[in-house]
Structure 1
C-alpha cells in the first residue's frame, strides 16, 4: 500500500509511526545502517539495552529496491517486511 487510505501522499515514515502507535510501540528512524567491523562488536552492541530491538518491521517496495530488501532479510536487519505483491513475488523468485 502506498500512502494511507485517507491521504495518498502519506509517506513511509508516517505510516510506520501510525502503525507503531496503534500497536503500542515506538519508532526509531535509522538514517544509515550500522556497519561494524566484527561479529564480536556486533554481539556486544546487541546486548546494550537501548539497541536491543525485538521486532524490526521494514517497509519498502519497488523493483529497484529488491536487492536491498533481500540483503536486509538475509542479514537479519529486519524481522518483518511490509511490501507490495510485485516486490514480494520478486523476492520469492
Structure 2
C-alpha cells in the first residue's frame, strides 16, 4: 500500500514539473511572437531609418520582458544556466544507448 502512495506522489511531482516547464516554454513563445511583431511594426512605421528603429523605446519591451524570462528560467530550471555535469552524463548515456548494435 505504501509503495502505491509513493508512486502516486512521484507522479504528481513529475506532473507539476512538466506543467512548470510547459509554462516556461509558452512564456518564451509569446515573448518571441510579441517582440517580432513589435520589431516589424517599428520597421513598418519608420522604414529602415536606423536612427529610429535602433532606439531604446523600440526595444524596451524586449529588454524588460527578457529580464522577466530570465527570472522565469531560473525559477523553473534553477540557477545552472548551460550544460551541467548531470546533463553531460545523461547525453553520454543517451548516445551510448543509441550506439548499441
TM over 0.5: no
TM-score, normalization by structure 1: 0.27
Q: State which structure, 1 or 2, has the greater radius of gyration over its C-alpha atoms.
A: 2
Q: Could you state the TM-score of these two structures normalised by the residue count of structure 2?
A: 0.26
Q: Relative contact order, CA 8 A, sep 6+: which one is greater?
A: 2
Higher strand residue share: 1
More helix by share: 2
